[in-house]
Amino acid sequence: MPRYNPAQIEPKWQAYWEERQTFRTPDLPTSKKLYVLDMFPYPSGDGLHVGHPEGYTATDIVSRYARMRGRCVLHPMGFDAFGLPAEEHAIRTNTPPRESTEKNIENFTRQLKMLGFSYDWNRVLATTDVEYFKWTQWIFLVLFDTWFDREQQKGRPIAELPIPEEIAAEGEAAVRRYQDRHRLAYQADALVNWCPALGTVLANEEVIDGKSERGGHDVVRIPLRQWMLRITAYADRLEKDLELLDWPEGVKKLQRDWIGRSTGAEVDFFLGDADAFEAWKSRRAETGFPEEPGEDVLRVYTTRPDTLFGATYMVIAPEHPFVPRLTTSEQKEAVESYCRKAASKSDRERTEGSKQKTGVFTGAYAVNPVSGQPIPIWIADYVLISYGTGAIMAVPAHDTRDFEFAQQFDLPIVAVVDPGESADVDREAVLAGQACFVGEGTAIHSGPYDGLPTREFKERITADLSDKGLARPAVHYKLRDWLFSRQRFWGEPFPILHELDDEGRPTGLLRPVPESDLPVDLPPLEDYKPHGRPEPPLEKAPESWLYVTLDGKRYRRETNTMPQWAGSCWYYLRFIDPRNDQRFVDAEKEKAWMPVDLYVGGAEHAVLHLLYARFWHKVLYDRGYVSTPEPFQKLVNQGMILGEMEYTTYQTGEGVYVSAADVEKSPEGQWQRRSDQVAVTPQRIEPDQVEKRGDRFVLKDHPEIEVESRAYKMSKSRGNVVNPDAIVRDYGADALRLYEMFMGPLEATKPWSMAGVHGVRNFLDRVWRLVIDEGAETMRLHPSFSEEPATDEQRRVLHKTIEAVTRDTEGMRFNTAIARMMEFVNYFTRQERRPREALEPFVLLLAPYAPHLAEELWQQLGHDESLSYEKWPEADPRWTRDETVEVPVQVLGKVRARVSVPADADPAALEEAARNEPRIARLLEGKQVVKVITVPGRLVNFVVR
């Protein structure tokens, strides 16, 4: 009984591909290249999730299709294997994280191979491979060796950094410190997010609402010496070059917003007596606007220099260095208490009561440079130390935040922009200082600038104040420098040495580990437990690792490690030349394969991973190590796969049903009845207890009770996780692949459905029976199989299928491509004669989607080579066009009949045929035909009166 048995044929073909190295890619492309890349997975202990094979199947189809079209395809896979879970496991079990990591990689590899992806497994790599992170460290040293030349907008070797004379005069140590301050990789005392529970510092991006993204633990802010990467230097190019990319607009916009470029002006406000103001001004007129603000001014950044005349007070961040100096003795206590509170508050708490602004007066005043008026300086946490200059001029009439603050503390509000008459602005209230207007308008109360429109005003005043040395045009970014060190064990060690003096104390001077000494491997540790202090676990490393002597000098190794992002910043380059021990990638191979033509992965990496990788790539580009300005030409985000659809009812403690529409979440996160806040419990019910009434679902037994119906994200806690191993066991890998592609568009979020898996498995069974005689004792072709030529009708079906499947595969519309193949099978299953001429091309069309089944059928059809490099079938236009078409005939836009006409019938013939159709003739009788619309091959429409 030769039934379709994926459990048998799938391992068979996987072994075949592996033994014959079917998907081994040459070092250099032998025909037009195509680089198809998946976002490589983190090998967690849970194994593959059904979300992984979604993107992986899509790229596999593209790769297999491209090979059959004669392209030379690079399609690799690897593992992003550094990271917290492995380290936490190490701490729990006191085993080296490498052990569990390697076990997980093995499991992932098994699962990936079981799905039949056509990766070149010779190129597999893990970011934790010592031979891999050797080059991650090497790239770090490139960053360390690079400074950013603003004039050329380009990263250059640190040796080319011009040294100011006064620095050079101070000697070599001063020069080295000066260079260190300009490197793309530099150290800084940063206010960091220290997470005591995880025992590490987290990047801003890893802190969500004041809690750690992983685990949801509390995070506090403490200052600590950190490695930073100067990604802000590249902000402009990272933004501009998005234009070059074939990426979803949404992702580009996310990146643009993240970079957050804004233009405006930096303005200095004089700190001192109003009498000294004029003297200061004339000094400034001579010296111009200084690079660094002195102690006698408060420098602010504003995007609305046109509202300077309306600046009635100033605000500085609680962390601003001027706080102690500006605070008067009367205000000292209040200020100190306020700043203490602000420091202890997480970002979450700061933003929580965002309606309620808090702040405290310093007691000091600054002089408004345009009006000469003294205005008070306040401290408030709505001003962030990390953006702009950490200080603002407050214009309450034209900035919502300033307006709220001014109302809270009764500060003057002076309107300086007349919004004009408009339906949605209360002009009177704005002019009276009772409402806030943030739009553009016409200047008022602005001295010589009165009457200017906002835009012109901005330019004029910026230029005027620049001439007087009071301001300068400025560009700022929301993007911050990248906090690049972690206080963890399981990451790449920094290849950096700290120089020690004779007493063994650090001198503050740095030295990169010589390239010949790379890699710096991780030392073995006695235990992996965090010691609860913010210092890294590598502090516990053996002295033999920790201390190094080079050229007679003693050094201590850097003990921070790199964040997980590091390894994924350049893996796409290493895949091109994974075993090279001389270079991170061979230049010729890099040039031949880059850029990545198609990159598919989850939308969760839309900003960080992609931005970081682009940044590294640009540095490598500037330094001449790679040939393209951007790494990933085309990007596609696969949508999330949700769990199976769930129906939920809510009941009170007494068992009374509550309609889903009447249920809300309490502030504490509990479900409750909206009307009286009585607690209710959600309960999942079976679909057969539910029916549809109108546009909602209700309980069959209680139709007045509305049921909630939706699909949830898969999670262990909800228990709706689908395991790919189980699907492959029960339905086969081809069924899993096909189902994930058939669910809907690749980019869409879609719910899982076991019934749907069953459906595609059914299709694969039908494909099998189309070719194979299932009823026979031994394996043989179906009795309907024929060597005779196909009929004209069969050819039309075949060639239309080829045309549609080709078009849809090209456009990555895999769901509709599969639908077309199903139609083919439905048609040919009904055929008494199934000619080879039709079956063979069909098997080739199916091959990228269900490669195991296709290979098996191909073999049964008498071929002894894999079909992986067979020529993709071509649609013959003679058979894709019908000779006659059925065209709908409308009267007043409603379809009333259909007529069969030659496909190339001209409008007159079409109209003629339509008028002759008996039903239409009857409808037109006695009516006046005002107009006839004919679209050849599509329709006829009579407009009658």
Partner RNA sequence: GCGAGAGUGGCGGAACUGGCAGACGCGCUGGAUUUAGGAUCCAGUGGCCGGAAGGCCGUGGGGGUUCGAAUCCCCCCUCUCGCACCA
User: According to CB under 7 A, which residues from 820 to 849 bind RNA?
Assistant: 822-823, 826, 829-830
Q: Which of 15, 279, 776, 892 binds RNA (CB under 7 A)?
A: 892
Q: Which of 176, 182, 350, 863 binds RNA (CB under 7 A)?
A: 350
Under rule CB under 7 A, residue 388 binds RNA: yes
- Give 884's strand partners: 902
CB 617 → RNA: shortest distance, Å?
23
Interface segment toward RNA; rule CB under 7 A; list 144-152, 558-566, 624-632, 883-891: 883-891
Under rule CB under 7 A, residue 191 binds RNA: no
CB 788 → RNA: shortest distance, Å?
21
Q: Which of 49, 341, 769, 915 binds RNA (CB under 7 A)?
A: 769
Distances (CA, A) of 932 to 329, 594, 896, 909, 910: 90, 56, 15, 12, 11
Under rule CB under 7 A, residue 886 binds RNA: yes
Name the residue nearer to RNA (CB basis): 167 or 208. Answer: 208
Q: Distance between the two ends of the chain, CA-based, in angstroms?
A: 68
Distance in angstroms (rounded) separating the CA atoms of residues 106 and 110: 6
Under rule CB under 7 A, residue 645 binds RNA: yes
| Cβ pair 436, 400 in contact under 8 A | yes
Please list the helix, strand and coil fractions of the chain in percent, rounded to the nearest 5, in that order: 40, 25, 40
Triad 162, 166, 171: Cα angle to 5° = 85
- Supply φ then ψ for residue 891, to 5 degrees: -120, 120
Map residues 211-250 to x or -, x wherever contact with RNA holds by CB under 7 A: --------------------------------------xx
Q: Which of 119, 194, 593, 763 binds RNA (CB under 7 A)?
A: 763
Interface positions, 572-611, toward RNA (CB under 7 A) = 603
The answer for residues whose C-beta is within 8 angstroms of residue 292's C-beta and 6 or more apart is none
CB 184 → RNA: shortest distance, Å?
21
Under rule CB under 7 A, residue 938 binds RNA: yes
Interface segment toward RNA; rule CB under 7 A; list 46-54, 105-113, 662-670, 762-770: 762-770
Name the residue nearer to RNA (CB basis): 84 or 642. Answer: 642
Query: What SS3 class is residue 910?
Result: helix
Q: Which of 29, 96, 196, 260 binds RNA (CB under 7 A)?
A: 260
Name the residue nearer to RNA (CB basis): 28 or 885. Answer: 885
CB 204 → RNA: shortest distance, Å?
7
# chain residues binding RNA, by CB under 7 A = 84
CB 894 → RNA: shortest distance, Å?
6
Map residues 525-564 to x or -, x wherever contact with RNA holds by CB under 7 A: ----------------------------------------
- Give 750's strand partners: 641
Distance in angstroms (rounded) separating the CA atoms of residues 315 and 393: 6
Under rule CB under 7 A, residue 384 binds RNA: yes
Name the residue nearer to RNA (CB basis): 381 or 870. Answer: 381
Distance in angstroms (rounded) separating the CA atoms of residues 611 and 246: 15
Q: Which two tokens stand for residue 456?
A: 């012109």
Under rule CB under 7 A, residue 933 binds RNA: yes
Q: Which of 16, 180, 890, 912 binds RNA (CB under 7 A)?
A: 890
Under rule CB under 7 A, residue 935 binds RNA: yes
Triad 847, 864, 852: Cα angle to 5° = 30
**Is beta strand 929-935 parallel, antiparallel or unpaired with respect to 417-418?**
unpaired
Interface positions, 678-707, toward RNA (CB under 7 A) = 692, 695
Under rule CB under 7 A, residue 257 binds RNA: yes
Residue bearing tokens 């600590």? 224
Under rule CB under 7 A, residue 96 binds RNA: no
Query: What SS3 class is residue 918?
Result: helix
**Is beta strand 360-367 parallel, antiparallel or unpaired with respect to 391-394?**
unpaired
Under rule CB under 7 A, residue 283 binds RNA: no
3-state secondary structure 378-408: EECCCCCCCCCCCEEEECHHHCHHHHHHHHH
Q: Which of 31, 351, 549, 689 binds RNA (CB under 7 A)?
A: 351
Which secondary structure element, helix H or strand E, spans residue 341, and what is its range?
helix 332-344
Interface positions, 470-509, toward RNA (CB under 7 A) = 476, 478
Distance in angstroms (rounded) separating the CA atoms of residues 635 and 168: 47
The answer for residues whose C-beta is within 8 angstroms of residue 762's C-beta and 6 or more apart is none
Q: Where are the beta strands (DSSP E) in 527-654?
A: 547-550, 553-557, 598-602, 635-638, 641-642, 646-652
| Cβ pair 298, 314 in contact under 8 A | yes
| Cβ pair 43, 4 in contact under 8 A | no
Under rule CB under 7 A, residue 753 binds RNA: yes
CB 479 → RNA: shortest distance, Å?
8
Under rule CB under 7 A, residue 888 binds RNA: yes
Map residues 309-348 to x or -, x wherever contact with RNA holds by CB under 7 A: --------x-----------------------------x-
Interface segment toward RNA; rule CB under 7 A; list 424-432, 454-462, 619-627, 813-821: 813-821
Name the residue nearer to RNA (CB basis): 260 or 629. Answer: 260
Amino acid at 843: V
Under rule CB under 7 A, residue 381 binds RNA: yes
The answer for residues whose C-beta is within 8 angstroms of residue 603's C-beta and 6 or more apart is 251, 637, 639, 640
Under rule CB under 7 A, residue 382 binds RNA: yes
Name the residue nearer to RNA (CB basis): 286 or 688. Answer: 688
Under rule CB under 7 A, residue 756 binds RNA: yes
Name the residue nearer to RNA (CB basis): 499 or 911. Answer: 911
| Cβ pair 114, 159 in contact under 8 A | no
Q: Which of 47, 363, 602, 745 binds RNA (CB under 7 A)?
A: 745
Which secondary structure element, helix H or strand E, spans residue 465, and what is its range?
helix 454-467
Interface positions, 130-169, toward RNA (CB under 7 A) = none
Kindly report the number of other CB atoms within 10 A of residue 228's CB atom: 19
CB 405 → RNA: shortest distance, Å?
8
